[in-house]
């Protein structure tokens, strides 16, 4: 016997084949005792108890162990997609207003304060991440071939989280199968679902932030801000921009042209926004949410299924995000395979997905080598690529010498200089510069900048927050090689993290 609880009040005898056929074609429902809300599903004529996995797939019940006696709890009562749009309409309106004004605005507080997020939010987020260590990540997708653990934490934490490694064709097939219902939902429905998902992602900011920290090497504060609220800002902006573009297309129109003495020519037109097709979002090792969310949410908002391919060393933040999206889709009676996770530490899977004829767009953040490979080998897809750049600062003069040094010191030190926006080259005139403190020679500017870095990192607590950890062994090697080239104004220095002594 399987005992369950209805999601909404109803008499058991009211639920007949017509109500449940979508979930497997049941013949009826009988009381199981305990009041009108408890029932058992019967598959006649043999009286066999139907497998609860069918019910779970349809969002009627949730639970485990479907082949034995079990008590199941109701899923979250789903709100229709268009009702979700109305629920989150104020958030969307505020975002649209911010777009038009181009001033600062964010609905997601960037300070990880207990007063904002709750006294236990941080501890709960950390515990949720740690509960995943050395286990199979709870995600089931089509075409699973194996479980793989690809992440090596820069902090030396043994993660050993095993993700599904899936066949590329199976992921594409599943994405295409999920696409029609998602497109049929329309702009309002899709926007409502995505804003609901984004709201839930925000509620899990500490969990996602801790995942970002452990997989990328970012400091705790940066991981929270960039991995949480700032990434969520970018997702919301993508949704709002997509909504604005879609709202400019009328659903219906009457085209009427006068014909002189004759009756006017009249056309009744209907317009439907159609997505490009399967979208592939390829994440990077350093900012797995900040760089992934814009492409992910923009593609979904405009009616496209998405396959998320995270960097093999930063899978968990993407996996948590994909899980939230799939949960919301399931609650709405939509195919969760609209959003899937592609995990592998070998380039073969990414290459197979990127060159697949059904993949119509690719959002890529990463190095030049693979970015150029995509440009050459994936002509069928529209490619949006952010590759490595060279950032420089030209110091001609300044009227705030001390402030300039502090800003440059922070830019050079933040996340140990691993950001794509980190200043990589400083161009200083050989004859020196003019400042509010008088003329400064070339050598003096270098020495003062080194002193500013020393001052910034003098407090170990500040230093570990600012520097984080080196994200990969290759970067450590490059740091060592850099010491052999030219004259160092300030030599690299390794610090021992009090909580994570194995961190570089």
Measured CA to CA, the distance from residue 308 to residue 38 in angstroms comes to 40
What H or E segment, with its residue span, contains residue 480? helix 473-482
Kindly report the backbone phi and psi dihedral angles of residue 441, in degrees, each rounded to the nearest multiple of 5, phi listed first.
-75, 165
Give the per-residue pLDDT at 383. 98
Between vectors from CA 378 to CA 372 and to CA 379, what angle results, nearest 5°? 105
Query: What predicted TM-score, i.e. pTM, was given to this entire model?
Result: 0.81
Between vectors from CA 312 to CA 306 and to CA 314, what angle results, nearest 5°? 85
Measured CA to CA, the distance from residue 269 to residue 252 in angstroms comes to 6
CB of 308 closer than 8 Å to CB of 177: no
In 185-284, which residue ranges form alpha helices assigned H by DSSP?
186-203, 205-216, 220-227, 229-247
* Every domain of the chain and the residues it spans: 2-71, 85-386, 392-482
Residue 397, classed as helix, strand or coil, is strand
* Cα–Cα separations (whole angstroms), residue 385 to 4, 285, 298: 49, 15, 15
At CB < 8 A and 24+ separation, what contacts does 371-379 make? 377/351, 378/354
Closest CA to 169 of 13, 413, 379, 352: 352
For residue 151, give every residue at least 6 positions away whose Cβ sits within 8 Å of its Cβ, in sequence order, or none: 159, 161, 215, 312, 313, 314, 315, 316
* Cis peptide bond N-terminal to 260, omega within 30: no
Please tell me the chain's helix, strand, coil percentages from 3-state DSSP, rounded to the nearest 5: 45, 15, 40
* pLDDT tens, residue order, the chain (504 aa): 333 333 333 333 333 333 333 333 333 333 333 333 333 443 333 333 333 333 333 333 334 333 433 333 333 446 777 899 999 999 999 999 999 999 999 999 999 999 999 999 999 999 999 999 999 999 999 999 999 999 999 999 999 999 999 999 999 999 999 999 999 999 999 999 999 999 999 999 999 999 999 999 999 999 999 999 999 999 999 999 999 999 999 989 999 999 999 999 999 999 989 999 999 999 999 999 999 999 999 999 999 999 999 999 999 999 999 999 999 999 999 999 999 999 999 999 999 999 999 999 999 999 999 999 999 999 999 999 999 888 999 999 999 999 999 999 999 999 988 988 899 899 999 999 999 999 999 999 999 999 999 999 999 889 999 999 998 888 888 888 888 888 889 988 888 888 898 888
How many alpha carbons fall within 13 Å on the CB side of residue 246? 23
Q: Write the DSSP symbol of residue 48.
A: E
Question: Tokens representing 187?
Answer: 């702009």
Q: Which residues pair with 394 in a beta bridge?
A: 427
Q: Which fold has domain 85-386?
A: Aldehyde Dehydrogenase; Chain A, domain 1 (3.40.605)
Measured CA to CA, the distance from residue 300 to residue 183 in angstroms comes to 10
Closest CA to 361 of 281, 242, 294: 281
Closest CA to 275 of 234, 245, 319: 245
Give the per-residue pLDDT at 184. 94
* Cα–Cα separations (whole angstroms), residue 10 to 31, 36, 301: 12, 7, 35
The CA R_g of the chain, rounded to the nearest whole Å, is 27
Question: Tokens representing 419?
Answer: 């950001």
CB atoms within 10 A of CB 487: 5
CB of 50 closer than 8 Å to CB of 17: no
For residue 335, give every residue at least 6 positions away whose Cβ sits within 8 Å of its Cβ, in sequence order, or none: 174, 177, 178, 181, 182, 329
Burial-class residue 207 by CB neighbours within 10 Å (0-12, 13-18, 19+): buried
């Amino acid at each position: 016997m399987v005992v369950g609880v209805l999601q909404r009040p109803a008499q058991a005898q009211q639920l007949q084949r017509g109500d449940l056929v979508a979930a497997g074609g049941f013949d009826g429902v009988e009381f199981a005792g305990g009041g009108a809300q408890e029932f058992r599903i019967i598959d006649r004529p043999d009286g066999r108890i139907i497998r609860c996995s069918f019910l779970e797939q349809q969002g009627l019940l949730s639970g485990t162990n479907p082949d034995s006696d079990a008590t199941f709890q109701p899923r979250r009562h789903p709100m229709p997609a268009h009702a979700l749009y109305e629920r989150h309409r104020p958030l969307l309106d505020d975002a649209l207003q911010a777009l038009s004004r181009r001033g600062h605005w964010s609905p997601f507080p960037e300070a990880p304060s207990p007063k904002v997020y709750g006294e236990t939010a941080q501890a709960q987020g950390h515990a949720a991440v740690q509960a995943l260590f050395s286990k199979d990540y709870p995600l089931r997708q089509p075409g699973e071939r194996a479980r793989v653990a690809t992440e090596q934490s820069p902090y030396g934490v043994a993660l050993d989280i095993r993700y599904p490694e899936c066949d590329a064709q199976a992921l594409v097939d599943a994405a295409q199968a999920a696409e029609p219902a998602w497109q049929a939902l329309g702009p309002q429905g899709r926007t409502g679902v995505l804003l609901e998902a984004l709201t839930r992602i925000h509620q899990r900011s500490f969990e996602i932030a801790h995942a970002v920290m452990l997989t990328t090497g970012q400091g705790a504060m940066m991981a929270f801000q960039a991995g949480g609220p700032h990434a969520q800002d970018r997702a919301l902006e993508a949704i709002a921009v997509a909504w604005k573009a879609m709202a400019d297309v009328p659903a219906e129109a009457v085209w009427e042209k006068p014909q002189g003495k004759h009756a006017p020519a009249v056309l009744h037109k209907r317009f439907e926004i159609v997505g490009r097709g399967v979208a592939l979002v390829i994440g990077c090792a350093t900012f797995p949410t900040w760089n992934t969310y814009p492409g992910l949410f923009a593609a979904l908002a405009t009616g496209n299924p998405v396959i998320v391919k995270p960097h093999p060393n930063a899978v968990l933040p993407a996996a948590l995000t994909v899980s939230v999206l799939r949960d919301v889709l399931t609650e709405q009676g939509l195919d969760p395979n609209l959003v899937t996770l592609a995990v592998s530490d070998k380039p073969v899977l990414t290459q197979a997905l990127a060159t697949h004829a059904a993949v119509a767009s690719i959002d890529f953040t990463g190095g030049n080598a693979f970015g150029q490979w995509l440009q050459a080998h994936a002509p069928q897809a529209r490619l949006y690529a952010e590759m490595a750049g060279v950032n420089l600062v030209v110091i001609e003069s300044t009227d705030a010498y001390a402030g300039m040094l502090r800003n440059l010191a922070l830019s050079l030190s933040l996340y140990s200089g691993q950001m794509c926006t980190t200043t990589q080259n400083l161009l200083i005139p050989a004859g020196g510069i003019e400042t509010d403190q008088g003329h400064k020679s070339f050598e003096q500017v270098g020495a003062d900048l080194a002193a500013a870095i020393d001052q910034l990192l003098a407090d170990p607590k500040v230093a570990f927050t600012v520097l984080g950890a080196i994200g990969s062994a290759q970067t450590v090697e490059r740091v060592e090689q850099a010491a052999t080239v030219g004259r160092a104004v300030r030599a690299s220095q390794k610090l021992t993290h009090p909580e994570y002594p194995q961190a570089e």
